[in-house]
Amino acid sequence: MHLPGPFDIIRVVELQGDFRVPEFLLPDATLEAVRASKIASDPRFYNAETHMLMMSFHTLVIRTERHTILVDTCVGNDKERPTLPDWHMRSGPFLADLAAAGVPAESIDYVFCTHLHADHVGWNTKLLDGRWVPTFPNAKYLFARTEAEHWSHVRETTDEPANHRSWDDSVQPILDAGQAVLVDSDYEIEPGIHLVPAPGHTPGNCILHVSDGKERAYLIGDTIHHPLQIEHPDWSSSFCWDPDLSRVTRKKFLNDVAETDALIMPAHFATPTAVRILGDAKGYDFETVEKG
């Protein structure tokens, strides 16, 4: 699916549909609060019959004249995630779907993970002859230094598997292969495309700013998980490392892009994914934007 915005932005979906009840993701999203929200009447984002959030797990690919950049690599195949049945030992067609969209794995120049949670690094690697190897053989994998150092420390100092084992099967093999590049949180990939620090969801969470000089888009990962958080920017997720900092970051971002032409492309918004932010700090709203 081609999205609107600068350059050529392609969305490839690994999973989409009913995800979980709102309280699973957003502790403040009670049944009463959700049913009183604008989202309650929008079946693209909320299933009123099942009281489930509609969500997507997808990657976004940016193709410029210089580079092909893949942002966030979803859940992955063959990954042991026993506490997460939807993600455990998957065998899905993601790579075939990526190639069918005109983006074979070999064509990727950069992989950028907005943060290092398991559902953003899964396809960093694939299982080959019993070993985890980089899925994108010609790519440099960009990890924000703050983010990588945090999860490396977690891995080294606790007995708990870091991020559902994803450090071991989806990040460390990239480091071992010499394809990882640890970068500052404002790193520029090429003119018009650079990282923007957005801490809170994780310590080194980043947004990717994309502009061709005419249009601009922000690929924001989990800075906003679901449209409910536009209407209720105070609602941080259950999985935020620092919910208060996440709240501050989200509100600042919404304030910066509201009532502008900027396109916002989160990692989990269901189709059509791209939105513009309306309103102001007294109340934010959004409009969806599809490829013209």
- Checking if the pLDDT of 201 tops 80, the result is yes
- Checking if the pLDDT of 71 tops 80, the result is yes
Q: What is the CATH number of the domain that holds 153?
A: 3.60.15.10
- Checking if the pLDDT of 237 tops 80, the result is yes
> Band of the pLDDT at 145, cuts 50, 70, 90?
very high
Mean pLDDT (whole number) for 181-199: 98
Provide the pLDDT for residue 117: 97
pLDDT tens for each residue of 81-101: 999 899 999 999 999 999 999
Provide the pLDDT for residue 163: 84
Relative to beta strand 216-221, strand 206-211 is antiparallel
Environment class of 260 (CB within 10 Å of its CB; exposed 0-12, middle 13-18, buried 19+): exposed
> Band of the pLDDT at 219, cuts 50, 70, 90?
very high
Q: Which domain holds residue 116?
A: 2-288
> What whole-number distance in Å separates Cα of residue 189 and Cα of residue 75?
24
Count the domains in the chain. Answer: 1
> What whole-number distance in Å separates Cα of residue 268 and Cα of residue 220?
10
DSSP of 73-87, one letter per residue? --S-SS---TT-TTT
Provide the pLDDT for residue 204: 98
- Checking if the pLDDT of 246 tops 90, the result is yes
